[in-house]
Amino acid sequence: MIRTILTLPDPLLKKVSAPVAGITPAIRSLAADLIETMNRQKNCVGIAAPQVGELVRMVIIDASRHPKHYPSCGLRVLINPRITHFSDNESTGREGCLSVPDLTANVARSTAITVEAMTIEGTPYIIKTEGFEAVVLQHEIDHLDGLLFLDRVTSLQTDVFRRRNI
């Protein structure tokens, strides 16, 4: 089922989500809904459960949906994801978010990360990734702690043109 995406100033977007206690039918159905909701959005490469109002630690990523074909591991469901390693190297890129329509901003993120999570079957696994997919994961996992890209803006300098409604 396609879910409604919450947008600012919905207070649920600022809440810390609870860990998934077990893989129940409700959790499987939420994962399916998130995938369907993500796929409905053009060029959307990730979604987190709190964005549809479910305060549980689940994110979906699919960096392969980006038209630039960055290297990626494709569609993944991450239950209780935890970033266990951040590279010291950071790079700044432009981010947007379904929950913050109309705005993009420059955000600094680690260029490479290691994430521990569970699959939708409850099997632990590890993703080591870098580049665009690492940014996507950091952005989505931030949602589980009530953080938006707006909370991580690091530069106003490269904002060459303000987005205008035309």
**Which stretches of the chain bind other proteins, using CB under 8 A?**
7-9, 14, 90-92, 100-103, 105-106, 108, 148, 150-159, 162
How near is the Cβ of 95 to other proteins at its closest, in Å? Answer: 13
Nearer to other proteins, 5 or 27 (CB): 5
How near is the Cβ of 139 to other proteins at its closest, in Å? Answer: 15
How near is the Cβ of 163 to other proteins at its closest, in Å? Answer: 8
Q: Compute CA distances 69 → 15, 66, 72, 98, whole Å.
A: 33, 6, 8, 20
Residue 54: active-site member: no
Nearer to other proteins, 4 or 157 (CB): 157
Q: Which two structure tokens, joined as six digits, stand for 104?
A: 């993009």
As a whole number of angstroms, the distance between CA 47 and CA 83 comes to 17
Nearer to other proteins, 34 or 113 (CB): 113
- In the set 54, 95, 133, 140, the catalytic residue is 140
Report, as residue numbers or ranges, the catalytic residues: 140
